[in-house]
Each structure stands twice: as C-alpha cells, then as structure tokens.
Amino acid sequence: MSLRPESGRLPAAYLTPGSSSFTEFVGAHAPELLPGRRVLPPGVLEAPHGTTIVAVAFEGGVLMAGDRRATMGNVIANRDMEKVFDTDEFSLVGIAGTAGLAVELVRLFQVELEHYEKIEGTLMSLEGKANRLATMIRGNLPMAMQGLAVVPMFCGFDTDTQVGRIFSYDVTGGCYEEHSHHCVGSGSVFARGSLKKLFREGMNQDAAVRIAVEALYDAADDDSATGGPDVGRRIWPTVGVVDVDGSRFLDDELVAAAVDAIIDHRRGNPGGAR
C-alpha cells in the first residue's frame, strides 16, 4: 500500500479526476484494505456473532435498537457490544452476523458516505446510500459462503418526503424496502412476532422506543444468543433515532426507563399479555 510514497508526493491516482466513491478508490489503489477482497483459507471459521436488531418507523422518523450481546458458539463473547451505528447525519445501520467484519463494513460505509458528501458537496440520496450498502454486502458474498455472513439493516430519514424508511438486505446483496418495522439476527423471529402485535400506525417516538425495547426483551426471552437488559451491570439496548433533526442515540436514562417499565409490566405476566 502506498500511503507514504517514496517521494512523499501524492500518487497520481489521488490526482486523477473520477470516482467520488471511497470504496472504488480504495479498491483500485489499496485493495487489501477492503474486507471483500481477502482470500481466506478453506474451512469454516468460528468468530463472534452479533445478534438481534429491530427497526420501528414512527410519525416523523424511524428508530433502530440492538441488544448488546456477541456470542461464539455457547460462549458470550461480549456483553456490551454496539451493533447500531450512525452512518451520517440522516442514517443508521445495524448489523447482525460476524462481528469483526460487520464493524469493518460499517466503518467503510461511514467513510463512503462522508467521502461522497465532501467530494460532491452534497448528501447522497437515501436510495443511493441503501444501494451503496447493498454493493458492499455483495462484495462480501465469498466470505458469507465460508460462514462469515454479515446482514445489515439500514434506516434513514428521507429529507425529500420527510419520512423515516427501513431497508433490509440478504447475504447476496439484495436490498428491500420494509414498511413499519423489521428485524434481523438470530432473535429476529421472536422480535418480529412481538412487533406485529405491538406496532400501531402513527405511533410517536416514545411509544416506538417502548415496543422496540420490548421486542428485544421478547427476543432475549427465547433466543440464547440475544442479550436481555442487564439490570445488574446496567447495560441497556442501544437505541438510535433518525428524524428531521438528524440521527442520534438515546441517553441511557431514557432507555433504562423503558426497560424498567417493561420489567414491571412482565412481573407475574411473563408473556406480556395485554
């Protein structure tokens, strides 16, 4: 890699007009830095896995929440991992699957969006961002076939139509727009069941936080790889919100309050019947 060429001058590739994509630039100039370009030895590798992410659209925005557990087989590899990230001013990404690759992919995606914004002098459209992420997942297909799959979920605020939107992906890079809510990861089956019953059209942000955290609670109840709220250590789910004011993460106190309310409600009512 020629980050510091011998003469110290910027290499010709840097000065060549053309792509405003960081991934394309790195692919041409320093391909070994891209996760999808690595050649892996045959065989299946065991590496930490991140688990459940849920997204819920509400009036004027969308939120994404993730549990904090990473597992490796039957072992808890990490209990306070972050799996929801803000990728630019108006978008969030949550990732389930191989944790190391997922974090690397998110970092690359964050730089990709900022790089485009700086070079072009304007934000990429929401569909543009969703498609860029699909391209990156597609590039990871060889790794997915060796057991290192990464499955993201993308949420953003559409500044043209003023609504929050959710995009899901499959391992081959297929990108699909979801409506109202969506879940990925090992506990997603249980979280989806929970959201189906709890979601209402036109909910406000507080109500959406409550049902997203409750869906993660339900996922953790039935899926050993999803971490429930850790009251003893005070580790709460990560909750990111994106609306007209941009993307941000909720303070721990707010999430803790939602968790406390759920735990109260579930006392003597473990299924959360209403």
- Chain residues binding another protein by CB under 8 A are 1, 3, 7-10, 14-15, 17, 22, 25-26, 29-30, 33, 107-108, 111, 114-115, 118-119, 121
> Which lies closer to another protein via its Cβ, residue 115 or residue 266?
115
Token pair of 6 as six digits: 């011998």
Q: How far is the CB of 236 from another protein (least distance, A)?
A: 22
Minimum distance, C-beta of residue 121 to another protein, in the bound complex (Å):
7
Whole-angstrom Cα Rg for the chain:
20
**Which CB atom, from 109 or from 199, has the smaller least distance to another protein?**
109
Q: What pairs with residue 156 in β-bridges?
A: 91, 165
Does the active-site annotation cover 51?
Answer: yes
Rounded distance, CA 46 to CA 10, Å? 40
Q: Provide the residue type at 208 as one letter.
A: A
CA 249 to chain centre: 13
Q: What are phi and psi of 127, to 5 degrees?
A: -65, -40
Q: Are 48 and 100 in contact (CB under 8 A)?
A: yes
Considering the complex, state which of residue 1 and residue 273 has its C-beta at the smaller distance from another protein: 1
Token pair listed for 199: 């979601």
| CB of 7 vs another protein, minimal distance in Å | 6
> Using an 8 Å Cβ cutoff, are 159 and 91 in contact?
no
Q: Which is nearer to another protein, 22 or 85 (CB)?
A: 22
Residue type at 72 in one-letter notation: M
To another protein, the closest distance from the beta carbon of 167 in angstroms equals 24
Other C-beta atoms within 10 Å of 16: how many? Answer: 11
Q: How far is the CB of 158 from another protein (least distance, A)?
A: 15
Query: Under a CB-based contact definition with an 8 Å cutoff, are residues 176 and 153 in contact?
Result: no
Which residues sit opposite 183 in a β-bridge? 54
Question: 33 vs 189, which CB is nearer to another protein?
Answer: 33
Catalytic residue among 16, 23, 51, 87: 51
Tell me the two tokens of residue 113: 């969006």
Which residues are the active-site residues?
A: 51
